Amino acid sequence: MSLEQLEVHESHGGKLVVYRHDSVETKTPMTFSIFLPSQVAAGENLPVVWYLSGLTCTHANVTEKGDYRRACADLGLIFIAPDTSPRGETVPDDAAYDFGQGAGFYVDATEAPFAENYRMYSYITEELPALIAANFPVDMTRQSILGHSMGGHGALVIALRNPVYRAVSAFSPIVAPSQVPWGEKAFTGYLGPDRATWATYDACALIAAGHRVPDILVDQGCSDSFLSGQLKPELLRAACDTAGLPLTLRLQPGYDHSYYFISSFMDDHLRWHAARF
């Protein structure tokens, strides 16, 4: 599978590169960014950190505003940021910001007309890792995953369902999408009315069903306008407490849902991940 290089930038002694490729899963071109620290030049196979973005975002949001490159350069981490959904004129969409293009919710859709293209779960867990492993000096025995909002939901679900990830963390995650308006809308449209199917993409439901990770780190801004209506971190705390799953939930006074918040704590998260490699 060929990679088309769209951008390349020197940064902190390494390279930030943006690529596009034709995806088998989504049947569309997909774009991702990858930061390759200077240790790559020495021939080392390095750990991989996957970052999943939130509603309305592309790979570019964290790439340009996430402030992760210095920490990755210091720690020797490859950082990969994929897009949030398939895109294109022929890809089904919705007029609202919280469904359709830019809002793939990291599921494999089963409902028409979305099932043809919206296969972000398999894209993130299977296709893109295979592409990365074939083209870059990565140590796939040392992977971790984090994300923001919808991407925090995706990171938690993917880590809980796939034990290959050594660490998982999130900024302002949607922890129980089956119980909030964003998730109910997306899951109905992508997965249909069967809530048993929804539970396979719901972090709190997965924990209740016995899925485990070693521990979880979550940062949540206390001034986040979506806190009480869509994010509900208290549900994750309750699920983890019941399951005996270690959770570090840090409520950050004054912080909102933006990249001002994310960039303020990105270094902490990356160092937390690196300690688990």
Give the residue numbers marked as catalytic: 149, 224, 257
Please give the helix or strand (H or E) that residue 24 lies within, else none.
none
Cβ atoms within 10 A of the Cβ of 177, count? 27
> How far is the C-alpha of 57 from the C-alpha of 223, rounded, in Å?
21
Cβ atoms within 10 A of the Cβ of 135, count? 14
- CB contact at 8 A, 53 and 61: yes
- Of residues 203, 116, 197, the one with CA closest to residue 158: 203
> How far is the C-alpha of 31 from the C-alpha of 58, rounded, in Å?
8
> How far is the C-alpha of 166 from the C-alpha of 145, rounded, in Å?
8
- CB contact at 8 A, 262 and 171: yes
On the question of a cis peptide bond just before residue 246, with omega within 30 degrees of 0, the verdict is no
Structure tokens at 55: 């509603």
Residue 28, φ and ψ in degrees, nearest 5: -140, 165
Q: Which residue has the tokens 């294109």?
A: 88
